Amino acid sequence: MTTLPALLIASRALAPVAPFLEAAYRVFRLWEGPPVEATDDITAVVMVGEDALDMVVLEHLPNLKHVACFTSGYDGLDLDWCRARGLVVTHAPAVNHEDVADHALALMLAARRRVVDGDRIVRSGSWAIEQRLITPSMRGQRVGIVGLGAIGEAVALRVAVMGCEVRWWGPRDKAQAAWPKAGSLVELAAQSDILVVACRADTTNRGLISAEVIEAVGPNGLLVNVARGSLVDEDALIAALKAGRLGGAALDVFETEPTSAERWADVPNVLLTPHTAGATMAAVQGMLALLVRNLQAVAAGEPPVSPVP
Q: Are 55 and 72 in contact (CB under 8 A)?
A: no
What are the C-alpha distances in Å from 277 to residues 11, 98, 120, 246?
A: 18, 10, 23, 23
**Separation between Cα atoms, residue 223 and residue 251, nearest integer Å:** 8
Bridge partners of 45? 8, 67
Q: Is 114 left (phi over 0), alpha (psi -120 to 50) or beta?
A: left
**Separation between Cα atoms, residue 86 and residue 80, nearest integer Å:** 10
Give me the active site residues, please.
228, 257, 275
In sequence order, which ranges of the chain are alpha helices (DSSP H)? Answer: 18-21, 55-59, 79-84, 97-112, 115-124, 150-161, 185-190, 211-217, 234-243, 261-264, 281-299
Q: Which residues of 177-194 are buried (b: 16+ CB within 10 A; e: fewer)?
A: eebebbeebbebbbbbbb
- Exposure of 192 in the CB half-sphere (CA atoms within 13 A): 34
**Separation between Cα atoms, residue 147 and residue 25, nearest integer Å:** 38
